[in-house]
Structure 1
Amino acid sequence: MPFFALIPAAGAGSRLGGETPKQYLPLAGRPMIHHALQLLCGSPRIARVCVVLSPGDTEWERHDWSAFSSRLAVLECGGATRAESVLNGLRAARQAFAINDDDWILVHDAARPCLAAAQLDRLLDELADDAVGGLLAVPVADTLKRGGSGGRVAHTESREDLWQAQTPQMFRYARLVEALCRAGGTAMTDDAGAIEALGLHPRLVPGDPFNLKVTYPQDLALAELILAGRRATWRKNSG
C-alpha cells in the first residue's frame, strides 16, 4: 500500500515565545520544518508529503521550498487544534491525490527536526503489514514524580511499561479519519490516542531519544547539536 506523510503546521508554538511560529524558527540555517520535510520528501517510499498550514499563514512564502516541489503539497486548511488540522489535511489530501481507505498515513510533528532515515524505515518496515498501525516511541528512563500543591512532590509514579510517544505515527487513512471524527472536540494530543479510543492497540516501534520535540528554547540548542553531529558524521564517512 502507498505511504503518504502529513505534517500539521498550523500552530503558533507559544511555549517558545516570540512572534514567529515555532515551525519557522531558524535551526541549522533553515526553518525548523525544513528538516522534517527534507527527510520525508527524500524517502523514495513515501508517495507524497502534505504540509497543513493555517489559512492566514504569511510566513511560508518567505522561504524557498523549491527543492521539495516534486514531492510536497501545501494544504491551507489548518484548524484550531492539532487534531482538527490533521483531519482537515486528510480530507484535502484525499481529494487531491485519490488516497484509498487502506493507504498508510504517517503524521509527523513539524517540531521534530531530528528524525533519522533509519527510524523512518524501521517504522515503515515493522508496520507495513500490521492490522492496526503504530508509532515511534522510547521507554521512559527517568523517575517520574507527580506534582502536588505548593510545588511539592505528591508521589512517585511507576515507570514500568511507560513509553514516551514520538512521531511519525502511522495508521490507515479510513481508520484515522474515523478515530479523529469520533474524538470530536476532545483534547487528543496525538493520533495514537484517537486510535486507542476506538478500542484498538497501536504497536510501539522503538525509536531514538534524538528524535526530540522542540518545545522550549533549550530544545533548539540541543536539536542544533544533534544535526551538527550528523553533518559531521556524514562528511567524515563521505570523505
Structure 2
Amino acid sequence: MSNSLGQFTVVLPAAGVGKRMQSSCPKQYLAIENKTILEHTVARLLSHEAIAHVVIALGENDEYFQSTSLVNNKNITCVVGGKERVDSVLAGLRSLNSNNQPWVLVHDAARPCVKHQDITQLISYCLAHDHGAILASPVRDTMKQANSEQLVAMTLERSQMWHALTPQMYKTAELTAAITSALTNDIEITDESSAMEALGYASGLVKGSSDNIKITQPEDIALAKFILNQQKSNVLTEAICE
C-alpha cells in the first residue's frame, strides 16, 4: 500500500436533515465537545495517511457549513447534494475524474468514530483483490424476520449476516455507472454496495470495529462522545508505551 498513500478521495454525503435526531439543525452539525460531528468525521478521514481529499455533498440551502472550521481547508471540495443520500453520493462522484482518481471511498458524515486501521485494511483489501469492498461488522444477536403483523415469522441464520458500515470503496467509474443505472431503473439503493450488487459487481466484506457507529438517535451523541474519548485515550497510552 505504500506506493498509494495519499492518493484517495472520500465522498461524504452531508445533505440530510436528520429528522430522527429531533433537533433544530441537521445532525451533522450537532456538537461533540465544541466540534460538529461533521468536523470530527472529516478530521478523522484527512488525518489518515492514505486520504488526500474529501468531497462533501451539502444541502442546497445549507446554513451551517460556513460557520465550521472546514470552510477554507484546501483538501475539501463542496458540491450540492440531492434529496436522498444516493443523489448526494452521485453528485460527489460526478465531481471526480476517474482517470486521476480511479478509486473512491464513500463514508457517512455521521460516523466520526471510524478507526484508521479499519480504513487501511479496507484500502489494502481493494487494491489486493482489484475489486470493491465495504467495512462490515458480523451480526452478534439472534436475528428475527417479521411478518406483516410484526410477529416473528422465522429465525434467520446469523453466521453469514453482517452489519454494513462505511467507508465503502469502489472503482470510481464502476460505482458512478452502477448508481446511475440503479436510479434509471428505479432500483432501491440503500448503500453503495447495493448499487454494485445490482449490476453484478463483486463486493468484499472487510471486518471493521463495531464502535464505528452511525449517529441517528439523540442518545447516540453520548455514545459517540464516549467512544471518541476512549479512542483518544488509547492513542495516548500507545504513544507513552512506545
Partner-residue secondary structure (3-state), 1:61: helix
The residue aligned with 1:78 is 81
- Supply the distance in 2 between the matched residues of 1:186 and 1:158 (Cα, whole angstroms): 26
**Structure 2, unaligned runs of 5 or more:** none
Contact 1:101 1:172 in 2 (8 A): no
TM-score (normalizing by structure 2):
0.89
- Among all aligned residue pairs of Structure 1 and Structure 2, give the percentage whose two residues are the same amino acid: 36
Partner-residue secondary structure (3-state), 2:23: coil
The residue aligned with 2:212 is 211
Contact 1:114 1:226 in 2 (8 A): yes
- Supply the distance in 1 between the matched residues of 2:188 and 2:28 (Cα, whole angstroms): 21
Q: Which amino acid aligns with 1:71?
A: N
The residue aligned with 1:221 is 222
Does residue 132 of structure 1 match 2:131? yes
Partner-residue secondary structure (3-state), 1:164: strand
Contact 1:179 1:197 in 2 (8 A): yes
Matching of residues 1-239 of structure 1 within 5 Å: 2-65=7-70, 69-75=73-79, 77-92=80-95, 94=96, 98-100=97-99, 103-148=102-147, 151-184=150-183, 185-239=186-240
CA deviations on 1:46-92 (whole Å, 9 max, x unpaired) are 231111101210111122226x71311122x1011111111111112
CA deviations on 1:172-230 (whole Å, 9 max, x unpaired) are 11100100001104331100000000112201011110111111122221111101111
- Supply the distance in 2 between the matched residues of 1:99 and 1:40 (Cα, whole angstroms): 20
TM-score (normalizing by structure 1):
0.90
**Structure 1, unaligned runs of 5 or more:** none
User: Displacement, 1:119?
Assistant: 0.8
Q: Which deviates further from its counterpart, 178-187 or 191-200?
A: 178-187
- Supply the distance in 2 between the matched residues of 1:205 and 1:172 (Cα, whole angstroms): 16
User: Displacement, 1:102?
Assistant: 6.4
Contact 1:27 1:220 in 2 (8 A): yes
| Structure 1 residue ranges (4+ consecutive) displaced by more than 4 angstroms after TM superposition | none
Partner-residue secondary structure (3-state), 1:123: helix
- Supply the distance in 2 between the matched residues of 1:102 and 1:88 (Cα, whole angstroms): 15
Contact 1:79 1:88 in 2 (8 A): yes
CA 1:102–1:71 in 2, change beyond 3 Å: closer, same or farther? closer
- Supply the distance in 2 between the matched residues of 1:175 and 1:238 (Cα, whole angstroms): 40
User: Displacement, 1:153?
Assistant: 2.5
Query: What is the RMSD of the two structures over their aligned residues, measured on CA atoms?
Result: 1.8
- Supply the distance in 2 between the matched residues of 1:209 and 1:100 (Cα, whole angstroms): 34
Contact 1:101 1:173 in 2 (8 A): no
CA deviations on 1:22-47 (whole Å, 9 max, x unpaired) are 11111233111112201211123223
Q: Which amino acid aligns with 2:56?
A: V
The count of residues paired between Structure 1 and Structure 2 equals 233
CA 1:49–1:160 in 2, change beyond 3 Å: closer, same or farther? same
CA deviations on 1:139-161 (whole Å, 9 max, x unpaired) are 11100122345543333222131
Q: Which amino acid aligns with 2:200?
A: G
Q: Which amino acid aligns with 1:202?
A: S
- Supply the distance in 1 between the matched residues of 2:68 and 2:206 (Cα, whole angstroms): 34
